A and B are shown apart, each in its own frame.
Chain A
Amino acid sequence: DTGVSQDPRHKITKRGQNVTFRCDPISEHNRLYWYRQTLGQGPEFLTYFQNEAQLEKSRLLSDRFSAERPKGSFSTLEIQRTEQGDSAMYLCASSAAGGRGDTQYFGPGTRLTVL
């Protein structure tokens, strides 16, 4: 039973560079979520996909952020022109279709450090 995987686990970059993260959800799950977690805080919702359609984006997701889920399988989250304030843990989660109460299963996260 393969869980949610994320790559890379850690990323250190210089301010102004672009970075891309990948998430592979549990294979039969068609819902995929991205969250961001800063130190000492709970995760905050960034965006949501149902299959390949991006159905909701948080106001936290500035125009420097873009997410895709081609073919409804893996997803990528790209941050352009990174800023020090982007330093955080980026978490991906997936759930089966059904309703608002579906359990979300999380990946190990990608920790981004912007120097």
Chain B
Amino acid sequence: AQKVTQAQTEISVVEKEDVTLDCVYETRDTTYYLFWYKQPPSGELVFLIRRNSFDEQNEISGRYSWNFQKSTSSFNFTITASQVVDSAVYFCALPASGSGNTGKLIFGQGTTLQVKP
């Protein structure tokens, strides 16, 4: 069965610290996509990144970077020089396999990040 595990329930850091959010997944698909979303206190899920399993290159976008390692089924997310505005719940997700290609997402339980000034 497919599964996404975010073992860190809550992380608290002081502003300007670097922080890594872990995501481990299980899938029976040979090709798949992985996603990260941010959910600020307002509640809306904001798309951050989509990664194809073909591409194992790390990706950097400003202060955000993602480390995808197929060998360990992990897709970790690092925020460099964290800011108070980064405080949110972060979710890792992947599409369910089978089910006629609906694309429905399976989410992890989320990691709550608190960045203190």
Contact = CB atoms under 8 A, between A and B. Distances in A.
Interface residues on B, range: 20 to 34
A38 to B, nearest CB: 11
B44 A42 contact: no
A111 interface: yes
A31 to B, nearest CB: 7
In this complex, which of A44, A100, A104 has the most chain B Cβ atoms within 10 angstroms of its Cβ?
A100
B117 interface: no
B103 A42 contact: no
A48 interface: yes
A89 interface: yes
A59 to B, nearest CB: 13
B112 to A, nearest CB: 9
A95 interface: yes
B75 interface: no
A54 to B, nearest CB: 11
A106 B37 contact: yes
Contacts of A109: 43-44
A17 to B, nearest CB: 23
B95 A101 contact: yes
Contact of A101 (B50, B99, B104): B50
Nearest to B29: A100
Contact of B107 (A40, A43, A55, A103): A43
Contacts of A40: 109-110
B100 interface: yes
A103 B47 contact: yes
Interface of A: 31, 33, 35, 40-45, 48, 50, 55-56, 89, 91, 93, 95, 99-109, 111
5 contacts: A55-B102, A91-B45, A93-B45, A106-B45, A109-B43
Interface of B: 4, 32-33, 35, 37, 42-47, 50, 52, 91, 93, 95-96, 99-110
